[in-house]
Every structure is written in structure tokens, then in C-alpha cells.
Amino acid sequence: MNNTYSPDILNCLANLSSDEVFTSPELANRMLDLLPQELFRSSKTRFLDPCSKSGVFLREIAKRLLAGLEEQIPDLQQRIDHIMTQQVFGIACTDLTAEMSRRTLYCTKQANGKYSVSTAFRDVQGNLRYLRCTHNWVNGKCKHCGANRAQYDRIETIESYAYPFIHKNLNEIFKNMQFDVIIGNPPYQINDGGGDGSSALPIYHKFILQAKKLNPRYLSMIVPARWYSGGKGLDDFRNEMLSDHRISVIHDFPITDECFQGLNIRGGICYFLWNRDYSGDCVVYNHNHGDVTHTKRPLLEQKAETFIRYNQGISILRKVRQLNEETMDNRVSSRLPFGIPSNFSEYTLTKSNENDIVLYRSERNKNAEKRVFISKKYVIKNSSWIDKLKVLVSKASPGGDEYPHSIISNPVLAEKGSVCTETYLIVDFVDTIEQGKNLISYMNTRFFRFLMSLIKNTQNISKGVFAFVPLQDFSHPWTDEMLYMKYGLDKDEIAFIESMIRPME
């Protein structure tokens, strides 16, 4: 009996790191399964991976074409040469990934090498190209991708991460060629030099927009799901995607590990199929702990003006919105409510002056005091809020992306004569301590936090995340049972909420 273990090296690469997220063969094939399979039985279909890293998409496409064209081109070598020269094309992300992708597709890093599976190429690159590009600097940033000049303006021997697909005219790479299918896993972000130097700007959407300009018949990419809620350069892209009726399928993975094993990308991952000749609703697949549900629906929920991630959440939201109540986003403050940044350090642990006020700050160190004292002079805006009772919540969600999730940290009832750093949002002002406690009881319900989760796709919370949460009467406390009854939720809807949201500690 032969028990030889022969692993696919591309499965190993897919688990190496979260810096360059490589696609496993299994995942690549799940994306290829979205396409009409007759594409692989035509000798004229052209495929492009515009952001090849390991070459896995091109290899799996070639394997399908090799089987699909067997009757049309019986001679194996002729069939291989036709597929490699006329049907399968790639643009690599870097010099290294170009060589890796050629080894995957051609079985050698030189397309015209002795051991290449194709005998038809006359140059080293074949149809898997990499052209070194330069960033186009404007005021210290690349106008194409947003890269920071201080970090990416490099000598030619060091990789600059100026990706050809979004930095060059495609005609420079493949002359006036029309592609039927564009598919891939683009780079997700690039350092923009903000904050302490670790700030990153999303870049994956630029690959999608560039691919659409080429007007393929089909487009499929796997990207972070953060675009659902926009933010940081993604607002226009989000609006375009959610208004595009040519997106026929989305597979959504809130838990990244179910798609990229061992990785945690905040907000999860999704892949989609864009069909140039389709117009209609989208089939949305939710993947959650191995369970998969799907529903055909508009990407923009009626009157919600956003994408509702969970299919099971649609009926719950519709029941809540039937009462036409004011929502909490009208009450929550914008970020930096008092103009005091998170790293503010001009505080004392005890009151040094009778006019000092309380400052609620970040608890980066568990042993540090979150309640300290500062002079009023450091409050540079909204000073009229100092002497109001207010309920605060940290703008950073706790824990990882595991489910059930907490969504928010424990709220804080901040006394009169207090302010907070950028670490916190003000959820609302209250007239009495009792009202504040009742508001906190509402925030602690799974119901409240579930409605937040329908919008929240990133670690940080903004006022917009409260847009589905209805305002309540805070003359008394709230429990989940009271809220389930008020909005007429059935046992399946209640079970779904409780499977997604954990009780507050």
C-alpha cells in the first residue's frame, strides 16, 4: 500500500502570513466554480489574474481548460501551448511573485526554459508579466495608490510595491487585449505614513475599479469585507459597489479563518462575481461556523441605505423599523468629542487644583487608572458638555473576531464635571444617574449590540454604527426579553441574535 504524502505546495504558501495573503487551491476553485463552466470549453476564452502572487488561479484555470479542450485539441502539447499562449495571462505583484507564479504555471521560472511545459514561448516572462513601476509622487503620496513617499521611494534593487495593474496602462503589458474573465486576490493595503507610521490605506478596491474599466464579461476578486461600511477612502467605492446591479453573487465570511486558515482580518472577507451582462438582485451567501445560508436580495436594503451583512438579520431589522422610532446615531457624538487625543499625557492621578475635572482615558495598561484629572484649559471644544451626565463607550471593540461577539466594551456612566479622550464616544446625555443606568442596561442587551453588528465591520465604532438602534424610554431598565416582545421577534430570530452576540460580562 502506497501512503506517500504529496501535499500541494500552494496550500502551504496560503498559510504563511497575513502580510501577503495567498490563496489556497481550494479557495481559488470555489471562486472559479462561480463562472459559467462553458468558458473552460472554449478555446477563445481569455483569463487574466492582474495581481498574481503564487499563480494558483492561473494554474487551476489551465487545468480546467486542459480538460475542457481535450476534444477540440486532442494533441496534448498543442493544447498546452494554445492555453498558455492564447488563454491564460497574469500580471505579478512583485519580481518574487512573478518567478513564483511562473514556476506554478509553467513549472519553471523562465517561460521559455528547458523545463517549461510550453514549447511556444520565446521570452523569459511568457504571458505572466511583471514590469517594475515607479510611484507618481504628489505632496508626498503616490497619486495612484496613496503610498507614503518616505517609505516607498526606493532604489531599483529594493521592491517598491508599485503594482503594475494600477500604476501602468495595461496596453503596455498586453497590447489592446480584451479579457473575458478577470479574477484574483489583490494586495489589501499599503502604508500611508499616518499615525505612528503604521497606518495603512486600503488598496484592493483600486484593483476592482481598474478591472471594471477593462469591461470583462466576468470579474471575481476576494477582498476584505470592510468596504460594506465604507470609511478611509472606501466611501465612493462602497456606493458604487452597492449600486451595481451586475454583482450577481457574494460569499461573505465574517470569520476570516473560514476562508484563510489561521488568519484574522478585521471585518472578515468576501468574494464576489460581477457579470457584465447581468442586472438584478444578488445571491448573498453567509458562511458562519460551517453553516451556509443564502438569499437573493438587493445589496442595498430598502430605506436602510446600507448593506445588511446577515441574511437572517433582514427580517429582524424590518420588524424594528416598522415602528419608525428615532435611532441612536442621532444621539451619539462624533469622534474626538472634547478635542483630547488618546495619547494625551498632561494629567494627574489626583486632583491638584479645585477646578480640575475628571478625564476618562484609554486603558492600554490594565493596571493604569482610566479615571484621571486635568485642567479645563485642555478642553478645546464642546466645553458645555463638561457639566452633563453622559454615557461613554470605547470606540474600539473588545477581543478578536470570534463569535459570539461582544461588539462593545462595558459602557461608562461619566459624572458631571468630566470629559474623555478620543478613546471614547459619548453615546448620549442623561438627566439623572438612574436614566444613565437604564441606558447602560439597554446597551448591554444582545438586541442593542446585534443591531450595531449589522453595520459594524471594523474594530472601531463610529456614530453611524448606531443607525439601526432605536431610541427607548429610559425611565426604566431594559432586558432582551422585553425588547424581543416589543418588536415581535420569533424564536428563530431570537436564536440567531443569541448565536451572534455574547452576554456582557
Edge to edge, the sheet with strand 389-394 lists: 412-414, 389-394, 424-430
What DSSP character marks residue 230? -
Domain-embedded: residue 108: no
Same domain? For 229 and 285 the reply is yes
pLDDT at residue 194, rounded to an integer: 60
> Alpha-carbon distance 84 to 105, whole Å?
9
pLDDT at residue 448, rounded to an integer: 98
Domain-embedded: residue 212: no
pLDDT at residue 372, rounded to an integer: 93
Same domain? For 386 and 479 the reply is yes
- Which three cell numbers mark 251? 460569499
Contact partners, residue 496, CB within 8 Å, separation at least 6: 310, 312, 313, 316
Same domain? For 496 and 374 the reply is yes
Domain-embedded: residue 194: no
Which is nearest to 45 in space by CA: 297, 253, 293, 217? 217
pLDDT cut 90: percent of the chain above it: 64
Same domain? For 405 and 265 the reply is no
Same domain? For 347 and 443 the reply is yes
pLDDT at residue 178, rounded to an integer: 92
Which is nearest to 394 in space by CA: 465, 292, 484? 465
Domain-embedded: residue 37: no
Domain enclosing residue 336, as ranges: 328-500
Same domain? For 364 and 496 the reply is yes
3-class SS shares of the chain: helix, strand, coil, % to 5: 30, 20, 50
- Which three cell numbers mark 35? 463562472
Q: Is the dihedral of CA 180, 283, 165, 206 positive or negative?
A: positive
pLDDT at residue 6, rounded to an integer: 46
> Alpha-carbon distance 103 to 53, whole Å?
11
For the chain, what is the domain count? 2
Domain-embedded: residue 39: no
Which is nearest to 318 in space by CA: 303, 297, 299? 303
Domain-embedded: residue 465: yes
157-to-101, 153, 160, 420 alpha-carbon distances in Å: 20, 12, 9, 48
Domain-embedded: residue 127: no
Residue where the block lists cell 484574483: 184
pLDDT at residue 15, rounded to an integer: 45
Contact partners, residue 307, CB within 8 Å, separation at least 6: 228, 229, 242, 299, 300, 301
pLDDT at residue 304, rounded to an integer: 62
pLDDT at residue 353, rounded to an integer: 87
Same domain? For 261 and 338 the reply is no
Contact partners, residue 385, CB within 8 Å, separation at least 6: 337, 338, 419, 426, 429
Residue 421: what residue type? T
> Alpha-carbon distance 322 to 318, whole Å?
6
Long-range contacts of 140-149 (CB under 8 A, 24+ apart): 140/193, 141/192, 144/206, 145/190, 145/201, 145/203, 145/206, 146/190, 146/192, 146/201, 146/203, 146/233, 147/190, 147/191, 147/192, 147/201, 148/191, 148/192, 148/193
Count the alpha carbons within 13 Å of 8 in the hemisphere toward its beta carbon: 14
Same domain? For 409 and 443 the reply is yes
328-to-295, 448, 468, 482 alpha-carbon distances in Å: 28, 10, 8, 18
Supply the CATH number for residue 382's domain.
3.90.220
Same domain? For 295 and 343 the reply is no
Same domain? For 298 and 378 the reply is no
pLDDT at residue 401, rounded to an integer: 58
To the nearest 10 degrees (0 to 180), the angle between helices 491-500 and 446-453 is: 80
Burial per residue of 14-48, b for 16 or more beta-carbon CB atoms within 10 angstroms, e otherwise = beeeeebbbbbbebbbebbebbeeebbbeeebbbb
The tens-digit pLDDT sequence of the chain (505 residues) is 444 444 455 554 444 444 457 899 999 999 999 999 999 999 999 999 999 999 999 999 999 999 999 999 999 999 999 999 999 999 998 888 999 999 999 999 899 999 999 999 999 999 999 988 889 899 988 888 888 888 888 887 788 888 989 987 776 777 778 999 999 999 998 877 665 555 778 999 999 999 999 999 999 999 999 898 777 788 899 999 999 999 999 999 988 888 888 787 878 899 999 999 999 999 999 998 788 999 999 998 766 677 888 998 999 999 999 999 999 999 999 889 999 998 898 999 988 888 999 999 986 555 567 899 999 999 999 999 999 999 999 998 876 556 778 899 999 999 999 999 999 999 999 999 999 999 999 999 999 999 998 888 777 888 888 999 999 999 999 999 999 999 999 999 999 999 999 998 7
pTM given for the model:
0.83
Strand ranges, E, within 78-165: 88-92, 128-129, 137-138, 141-142
> Alpha-carbon distance 392 to 331, whole Å?
12
pLDDT at residue 196, rounded to an integer: 54
Residue where the block lists cell 451567501: 285
Same domain? For 485 and 374 the reply is yes
- Cβ atoms 423, 437 nearer than 8 A: no
Residue 29: what residue type? N
**Residue finishing a domain among 282, 311, 340:** 311
Q: Is the dihedral of CA 341, 342, 344, 348 positive or negative?
A: positive
Same domain? For 261 and 394 the reply is no
pLDDT at residue 159, rounded to an integer: 81
Domain-embedded: residue 114: no
